Amino acid sequence: MNELFDRDILSGEQFTLDEIQTVMGVAHDMRRRVAHGTHLDNCHGKVLASLFFEPSTRTRLSFETAMLRLGGQVIGFSSAESTSVSKGETLSDTIQMADQFANVIAMRHPRVGSAHEAAAVAVRPVINGGDGIGQHPTQALLDLFTLQQELGDFDGRTIALVGDLRHGRTVHSAVEIYKHFNCRLILVSPEQLMLQRPMVESLHKSGVAVTETTDLESALSASDAVYMTRIQKERFADPSEYEKVKGCYVLNRELIMRTNSRIVVLHPLPRVDEISTDVDDLPGAAYFRQAQNGVYVRMALIAMVLGKA
Amino acid sequence: MNELFDRDILSGEQFTLDEIQTVMGVAHDMRRRVAHGTHLDNCHGKVLASLFFEPSTRTRLSFETAMLRLGGQVIGFSSAESTSVSKGETLSDTIQMADQFANVIAMRHPRVGSAHEAAAVAVRPVINGGDGIGQHPTQALLDLFTLQQELGDFDGRTIALVGDLRHGRTVHSAVEIYKHFNCRLILVSPEQLMLQRPMVESLHKSGVAVTETTDLESALSASDAVYMTRIQKERFADPSEYEKVKGCYVLNRELIMRTNSRIVVLHPLPRVDEISTDVDDLPGAAYFRQAQNGVYVRMALIAMVLGKA
Amino acid sequence: MNELFDRDILSGEQFTLDEIQTVMGVAHDMRRRVAHGTHLDNCHGKVLASLFFEPSTRTRLSFETAMLRLGGQVIGFSSAESTSVSKGETLSDTIQMADQFANVIAMRHPRVGSAHEAAAVAVRPVINGGDGIGQHPTQALLDLFTLQQELGDFDGRTIALVGDLRHGRTVHSAVEIYKHFNCRLILVSPEQLMLQRPMVESLHKSGVAVTETTDLESALSASDAVYMTRIQKERFADPSEYEKVKGCYVLNRELIMRTNSRIVVLHPLPRVDEISTDVDDLPGAAYFRQAQNGVYVRMALIAMVLGKA
């Protein structure tokens, strides 16, 4: 049985390098088989509970597509309003209920730590699809998968992480994954939204070369790939502070052509205006391919925790 | 063909003892086969319309899991807002539409009698998943199934029904089912929320020994199982009346250990605070197993009305 | 490969007579096979993205039933609120995301032209399930299928189109389909809601005999079938104008028996009060059969664009 069998997927830091590489290998295999039109039935007779307590399209549909393409089935909900949560049911009880119905649970919830709470009461494996500003480990794994696909190899590469590094759960999980690799990170953010000190220190200790800056242009010139994230207005106490920084972190075609025309561009999506649409047809614009890779990585994770890889 | 083939499942009172026992037998078989990892395809090529006009998680997901585990498929909606009801469509028209698409219809609707209305216009079998304060027959059957599983046998047993017995549709359907058995019922409720007189009389006539009380403690001491239900604040004209009674009907570990440590505890869920979480790990706490049994009983009912048991 | 393979289905005017007849033939075959209880697996391993940005039950459930009855699977959403649109994502980005997950996209969106926008960015086939007051081509095809089923043959027949012909997307698409046939149309509407001049002229040019009137009674007497649509109050600048016309266009049993007792009655549904329920059991009341035909026509279209007919 594989090393993730019957385990929860809760945060980036839970993975060893070996486990990460196994997931990448299985995801690569899933990609190849779907591309060849193979009908998989690894998860025939299995049911995924897709429990989204807050709005999501990409992550939810990606998990559901993954389970369906494995030959399994899906139950669930896409917002808390139409559920028993509106009757006062606790997260713990909702999870224990789903645990009776399904073979594996994927969930998103606004509260940090909610996925750990769920895993503590569920017998079935729980996969964290985002817990507030906490973690989003499947996103971090699909980002890595995409960087490996786009760059050929991830080791020795320089990645610029741009935007709200303080609150971005995607970034928090990514940092835990990148630690295992011989890469360089350039952290680009306004000062209020810098990555928390413990995470930066932890990267240093792991041997990852980290530079912090507020300057996107120089970061682009020095990087093989840039990972854009949304800066959310509501994170700023002073709206004028928001206005000052938001313009700096818009990636457009002109900026890319001027600084680094071959740079690989990732974004967890949805974007609002961090990446102009004139970037979309550049060869390095990888964010929609990244969304597709999410299906393969989640196929790998679901199949592995169910022992069906 | 089985005796439920092509029939509607609308209320507890429609069942003969023979039919109830057949459903229990088929549900038991479903449970065994799912536990053995058997992939059922009884309902391959069949479609369930899951029409939930008001919020539900447990009942909806339970019906949908049941159909998927039978190898069938599911269409539907989980709230009236995103449907044509918001354009003024009548229940009758919505049902006649679903009747064209699906092979069987499961529905929940806030109006008493709605499931009967639906059954009157639908060609396909209609299964009532709750019609306001009316009936909830599949819940009553899964409650019985759970009592039989937990107690070994239901005949000769004493069950305390606790909470809002006046408005609880679960209780209304259960009473109709329990009539067929040689059991004793202790009805525990505040005076405003006592079971309606005709139902009590009907129980008496059927030979069920019924005691009514407002005292939970004595009922626990005298019962083999306790069936808790939510008391809903909005049912009381005078809020101070609510405050008086709600505290009496909270089941906690201390109370159980003091009165009847081996009592089997059921609840249709969701609970708010009628059962403290410190009860959850007592061996008699059967409410989550009860939720799982709901899948087997609904598998039995769906398969039977489709002639695929 | 069939002539619709890998093509988008966006408007009524895109079809040649040959293509229309092929769709009718495939839909007829689907109908026969479903009726015989054949389990189709044409689309096994394929995924439909069912993206409904505004409320719908009939069209959404019909598309989803079609895909499931073809052996395929479905992902999607039934309202914009629980999606990333609420985070500011553009239609184009949402479509490009779904394009990575699914094999075919069915969508409804309130903006005219939205389906064309989607088709411009999607690699996968896009099927328009209604774009504001624009087009609704699958409805027009299922209307034609129903007329052929009910009347035996469509050529030489007279059809009365009744209601809001100005804003009705169903009518707009139907007109483009009917052009190819040797039929007569009687357009019945209040003056404010008459079919746009270019569409009327285009019908004339195609050799379709068109009469326009405000009088429903005479139209019924002269027609083989009547196609009712909702008149929406909000389309009138002056509410008293609405009050004047709405009564004229209510079809009830008495009116039908008096004018044309064998007339075939269609309606895209949902109805509000345009057709009294006392019409429902007349032999010509075809609107619920029409809803069922929608499944067969959409099975045909999905299978054809995927090359699996």
Claim to verify: residue C126 and residue C141 sit in the same structural domain: no
Domain count, chain B: 2
Q: Which phi-psi region, left, alpha or beta, contains residue C120 (left: φ > 0; alpha: ψ -120 to 50)?
A: alpha
Query: Please, are residues A44 and A18 in contact by the beta-carbon 8 Å criterion?
Result: no
Claim to verify: residue A107 and residue A154 sit in the same structural domain: no
pLDDT of residue A82: 66
Burial of B29 per CB tally in 10 Å (0-12, 13-18, 19+): middle
Strand partners, A76: A50
Claim to verify: residue A240 and residue A273 sit in the same structural domain: yes
Residue at C2 is within a domain: no
pLDDT of A50 higher than 70? yes
Does the annotation list B69 as a binding residue? no
| Banded pLDDT at A272 (limits 50, 70, 90) | confident
Q: Which of A39, A58, A61 sits opposite C45 (nearest CB)?
A: A39
Assigned token pair, A130: 């985002």
| Per-residue pLDDT reduced to its tens digit, B141-178 | 999 999 999 999 899 999 999 999 998 889 999 999 99
Residue at C194 is within a domain: yes
How far CA B46 is from CA of A13, B65, C40, C239, in Å, comes to 44, 14, 11, 47
The residue that leads in pLDDT, C155 or A107, is A107
Percent of chain A with pLDDT over 90: 82
Claim to verify: residue C62 and residue C119 sit in the same structural domain: yes
Query: Please, are residues C218 and C158 in contact by the beta-carbon 8 Å criterion?
Result: no
- DSSP symbol at C195: P
Q: Which helix (H) or strand (E) holds A18?
A: helix A17-35
From start to end of chain B, where are the E strands?
47-52, 73-77, 104-109, 126-131, 158-162, 184-188, 209-213, 225-228, 264-266
| Per-residue pLDDT reduced to its tens digit, A56-108 | 889 999 999 999 999 999 999 998 876 767 678 899 999 999 999 999 999 99
Assigned token pair, A131: 């817990």
Does the annotation list B184 as a binding residue? no
Claim to verify: residue C181 and residue C301 sit in the same structural domain: no
Query: Please, are residues A141 and A20 in contact by the beta-carbon 8 Å criterion?
Result: yes
pTM of the model: 0.95
| Per-residue pLDDT reduced to its tens digit, C117-126 | 999 999 999 9
CA A282 to mean position of chain CA atoms: 23
State yes or no: cis peptide before B268, omega within 30 of 0: no
Residue at B5 is within a domain: no
Residue range of the domain that includes B66: 17-136+294-306
Distance CA A206, CA A175 (A): 11
Does the annotation list A58 as a binding residue? yes
Question: Phi and psi at residue C223, in whole multiples of 5°?
Answer: -115, 155
Inter-chain contact A100–B69, Cβ cutoff 8 Å? no
Sign of torsion, CA A230 A233 A236 A241? positive
pLDDT of residue C159: 97
Does the annotation list B169 as a binding residue? yes
Claim to verify: residue B278 and residue B142 sit in the same structural domain: yes
CA A61 to mean position of chain CA atoms: 14
b/e sequence C227-266, b meaning 16+ C-beta within 10 Å: bbbbbeeeebeeeeebeebbeebebebeebeebbeebbbb
The residue that leads in pLDDT, B241 or B263, is B263
Compute the mean pLDDT over every residue in chain C, rounded to the nearest whole number: 94
| Banded pLDDT at A244 (limits 50, 70, 90) | confident
pLDDT of residue C218: 96
pLDDT of residue A88: 80
Distance CA A82, CA C19 (A): 42
- DSSP symbol at B161: E
Inter-chain contact C81–A55, Cβ cutoff 8 Å? yes
Instruction: Give me Rg for the CA atoms of chain C.
Output: 19
How far CA B82 is from CA of A94, B86, B204, in Å, comes to 23, 7, 45
Residues whose CB is less than 8 angstroms from the CB of residue C295 and which lie 6 or more positions away in sequence, other chains included: B100, B101, C34, C62, C65, C66, C69
Question: Phi and psi at residue C75, in whole multiples of 5°?
Answer: -120, 165
Claim to verify: residue A167 and residue A99 sit in the same structural domain: no
Strand partners, A294: none
Amino acid at B76: G
3-state secondary structure of A147: helix
Query: Please, are residues A301 and A138 in contact by the beta-carbon 8 Å criterion?
Result: yes
List CB contacts (< 8 A) between A307 and chain B.
Answer: none
| Per-residue pLDDT reduced to its tens digit, C198-255 | 999 999 999 999 999 999 999 999 999 999 998 877 777 788 878 777 777 999 999 9
State yes or no: cis peptide before B270, omega within 30 of 0: yes
Inter-chain contact B101–C291, Cβ cutoff 8 Å? yes
Residue at A9 is within a domain: no
CATH of residue B267: 3.40.50.1370
Q: Which of C39, C55, C289 sits opposite B44 (nearest CB)?
A: C39
List CB contacts (< 8 A) between C95 and chain A.
Answer: none
Helices (H), A109-224: 114-121, 137-151, 169-178, 197-205, 216-221
Query: Please, are residues A110 and A147 in contact by the beta-carbon 8 Å criterion?
Result: no
pLDDT of B131 higher than 70? yes
Residue at C106 is within a domain: yes
Residues whose CB is less than 8 angstroms from the CB of residue C204 and which lie 6 or more positions away in sequence, other chains included: C210
Assigned token pair, B85: 């009801």
Inter-chain contact B97–C37, Cβ cutoff 8 Å? no
Q: Is residue A83 within 8 angstroms of chain C, CB to CB?
A: no
Amino acid at B98: A
3-state secondary structure of C127: strand
| Banded pLDDT at A20 (limits 50, 70, 90) | very high
pLDDT of residue A242: 80
Pick the closest to residue C22 from C38, C40, C39, C9 (CA basis): C9
Distance CA C293, CA C291 (A): 5
Q: Count of A–B CB contacts within 8 Å? A: 72
pLDDT of residue B221: 98
Average pLDDT score over residue span C256-274: 95
Does the annotation list B60 as a binding residue? no
Does the annotation list A124 as a binding residue? no
List CB contacts (< 8 A) between B52 and chain A.
Answer: 82
- Preferred mutation among C43, C85, C93, C107 to probe A, highest tally of A CBs within 10 A: C93
Claim to verify: residue A162 and residue A260 sit in the same structural domain: yes
Interface ipTM: 0.94
pLDDT of residue B82: 66
Residue at C9 is within a domain: no
Which of the residue ranges A270-279, B216-225, B230-239 would you say has the lowest mean pLDDT?
Answer: B230-239
Residue at C199 is within a domain: yes
DSSP string for A68-135? HHTT-EEEEESSGGGSGGGGT--HHHHHHHHHHH-SEEEEEESSTTHHHHHHHH-SS-EEEEEETTS-
pLDDT of B245 higher than 80? no
Which of the residue ranges A121-125, A197-201, B15-19, B241-245 would you say has the lowest mean pLDDT?
Answer: B241-245
| Per-residue pLDDT reduced to its tens digit, B248-303 | 799 999 999 999 999 999 999 999 889 999 999 999 999 999 999 999 999 999 99
Location of structure tokens 């899906």:
A74
Claim to verify: residue C142 and residue C282 sit in the same structural domain: yes
How far CA C85 is from CA of A45, B138, C95, in Å, comes to 33, 38, 11
Pick the closest to residue C17 from C144, C151, C200 (CA basis): C144
Sign of torsion, CA B233 B236 B242 B248? negative
pLDDT of residue A180: 95
| Banded pLDDT at C46 (limits 50, 70, 90) | very high
| Banded pLDDT at A120 (limits 50, 70, 90) | very high
| Banded pLDDT at A8 (limits 50, 70, 90) | very high
What strand order describes the sheet that includes C184-188?
Answer: C209-213, C184-188, C158-162, C225-228, C264-266
Assigned token pair, B193: 């929320």
CA distance C53 to chain A (A): 12
Claim to verify: residue B156 and residue B128 sit in the same structural domain: no
| Per-residue pLDDT reduced to its tens digit, C267-291 | 999 998 899 999 999 999 999 999 9
Which of the residue ranges A225-234, B263-272, C150-159 would you say has the lowest mean pLDDT?
Answer: A225-234
pLDDT of C67 higher than 90? yes
pLDDT of C176 higher than 80? yes
Inter-chain contact C100–A295, Cβ cutoff 8 Å? yes
pLDDT of A233 higher than 80? no
Amino acid at A194: M
- DSSP symbol at A251: B
CB-side neighbour CA atoms (13 Å) of B250: 13
Claim to verify: residue A107 and residue A165 sit in the same structural domain: no
Inter-chain contact C84–A57, Cβ cutoff 8 Å? yes
Average pLDDT score over residue span C141-169: 95
Inter-chain contact C61–B82, Cβ cutoff 8 Å? no
Average pLDDT score over residue span C62-79: 96
Distance CA A138, CA C259 (A): 65
List CB contacts (< 8 A) between C269 and chain B.
Answer: 84, 89, 93, 97
pLDDT of B74 higher than 80? yes
Helices (H), B152-286: 169-178, 197-205, 216-222, 239-246, 253-259
Distance CA C126, CA C107 (A): 8
Pick the closest to residue B157 from B112, B201, B223, B215 (CA basis): B223
Helices (H), C228-286: 239-246, 253-259
Average pLDDT score over residue span B191-206: 93
Distance CA C167, CA C165 (A): 6
Claim to verify: residue A153 and residue A283 sit in the same structural domain: yes
State yes or no: cis peptide before C270, omega within 30 of 0: yes
Percent of chain B with pLDDT over 90: 82
From start to end of chain C, where are the E strands?
47-52, 73-77, 104-109, 126-131, 158-162, 184-188, 209-213, 225-228, 264-266
Sign of torsion, CA B275 B278 B284 B286? positive
Q: Which of A62, A270, A288 sits opposite C88 (nearest CB)?
A: A270
pLDDT of residue C180: 95
pLDDT of residue C231: 84
Distance CA C172, CA C156 (A): 21
Distance CA A102, CA C220 (A): 55
| Per-residue pLDDT reduced to its tens digit, B77-100 | 998 876 767 678 899 999 999 999
Location of structure tokens 């005292």:
B215
Q: Which helix (H) or strand (E) holds B263?
A: none
pLDDT of residue C82: 66
- Surface of A (46-75) touching B: CB under 8 A: 47, 49, 73, 75
Q: Which helix (H) or strand (E) holds A239?
A: helix A239-246
